Amino acid sequence: MSRTLVLNATYEPLGVITERRALILVLNHRATMIEESGSVLHFSGGEIELPSVIRLNKFVRIPYRHAVPLSRRAIFARDGGRCVYCTAPATSIDHVIPRSRGGGHNWENVVSACHKCNHLKADKQLKEIGWRLRQLPREPVGAAWRILGTGQTNARWLQYLEPFGVAAATA
Ligand SMILES: [Zn+2]
């Protein structure tokens, strides 16, 4: 079963639900379909297009924001799926300051890396091998990370996630 991206009335990404639940929200006039999924639900009276993206008709207040969970998927997404040292496709997670040297497992010390760079770097510090980061790793911000954290993305959703903190390379 495919999933549907739910946007707030303000277009802020809120979450991911099943197409069927999304359809019920639309039929109950609680949401509006703004992107069709391309698949159709057949029922006795006819057929109806299933939504890929819906937008709530009434604004929903989000009481608080969770920090973005530190997962392999989220780290790859933040770093555009590329090795931060050589831009090859990322295949592993590297601790900038090696864990054996006291480096933490946190957003500021993890980056996506390719196998080759990870192997070359091993337990060395960047300055020992003359490498440097183009930018300092940070915790990602933006509502789009609620969606990325679910691990479900869809090319149709990209244009709705981009204004909320997701780079085009990610989805
Ligand atoms: Zn690399």
- How is 64-98 classified by DSSP, letter by letter? --PPPP--HHHHHHHTTTB-TTT-SBP-EEEESS-
Cα 108 to ligand 1 centroid, rounded to whole Å: 18
- Ligand 1 center–CA 163 separation, angstroms: 29
Contact 88, 116 (CB under 8 A): yes
> What does the alpha-carbon distance between residue 24 and residue 40 come to, in Å, rounded to a whole number?
14
In a domain, 137, yes or no: no
In this structure, the answer to whether residues 116 and 77 fall within a common structural domain is yes
**In this predicted structure, what is the pLDDT of residue 67?**
72
Element spanning 120, H or E: helix 115-121
Q: Which domain holds residue 76?
A: 72-129
Any domain includes 134: no
pLDDT tens digit sequence for 93-129 = 999 999 999 999 999 999 999 999 999 999 999 999 9
Question: Within 13 Å, how many C-alpha atoms sit on residue 29's CB side?
Answer: 0
Cα of 68 from ligand 1 centre, angstroms: 25
What does the pLDDT look like over 48-102, one tens digit per residue? 999 999 999 999 987 766 677 788 888 988 888 899 999 999 999 999 999 999 9
| Residue 35 one-letter amino acid | E
| Shared domain check, 59 and 76 | no
